Amino acid sequence: MSPARRWTSRVAAEPFTYHRQGRSWTALGVVLAIWALLILAILVVQAAPWLMGIIALFTLPALWEVWANPAAGLQMDDHGLRWFTGKREATLTWAEVDHMRLDTRLDFSVRATAVLTSGRKIRLPYEATPPHAAFEAALQDFGVRTERHHFSLIG
């Protein structure tokens, strides 16, 4: 059966939506804790302020995420898959997708890749990927074949 026809014969599934904000209390708490430790190092151990300032520069990307609060998410319906993160977005129709590959990495995060019928692979942005169990269940509800790969170094 051709890829375009396999999606028309099944029962329509409920749309699946995942949305998250970039701002988190955890990130803000970690940045504040790091700054408190740096100030404490200056006051108690007499660490060089310029050196502590350089270390504090590494917290700026986390501060930018808290300030900008970029949204990310994913939507699936009978027509296909759409994801967005910040100013980037992409859409795939189910006819283009052969299967979805879910890779568990060594840090226990799960990365999702759409493997197209042409053989091309499109990696979904991590921040737009839902929790893997709910995502895999939703993909199966839509009749999309999934492959799980655990702890692969190359993929």
31 plus 52 within the same structural domain: yes
CATH of the domain at 131: 2.30.29.30
CB 130, CB 18: distance < 8 Å = yes
Structure tokens at 153: 């170094």
Q: Is the pLDDT of residue 10 over 80?
A: no
111 plus 41 within the same structural domain: no
Domain range for 63 is 25-68
Task: Write the pLDDT tens digit of every residue in 88-140.
Answer: 899 999 999 999 999 988 888 899 999 999 999 999 998 899 998 999 999 99
Task: Write the pLDDT tens digit of every residue in 12-23.
Answer: 578 899 999 888
* DSSP label at residue 103: E
pTM given for the model: 0.70
57 plus 75 within the same structural domain: no
110 plus 81 within the same structural domain: yes
Q: Is the pLDDT of residue 149 over 80?
A: yes
Mean per-residue pLDDT for 14-42? 92
Say what the pLDDT of residue 4 is: 41
The dihedral region occupied by 35, where left means phi > 0, alpha psi between -120 and 50, and beta the remainder, is alpha
135 plus 95 within the same structural domain: yes
Q: Which residues contact 28 (CB under 8 A, 6 or more apart)?
A: 66
137 plus 98 within the same structural domain: yes
Say what the pLDDT of residue 81 is: 93
- For residue 110, count other CB atoms closer than 10 A to its CB: 19
In a domain, 9, yes or no: yes
Structure tokens at 112: 């999702």
Out of 68, 93, 124, pick the residue that ends a domain.
68
Q: Which residues contact 34 (CB under 8 A, 6 or more apart)?
A: 55, 56, 59
Say what the pLDDT of residue 1 is: 39
100 plus 29 within the same structural domain: no
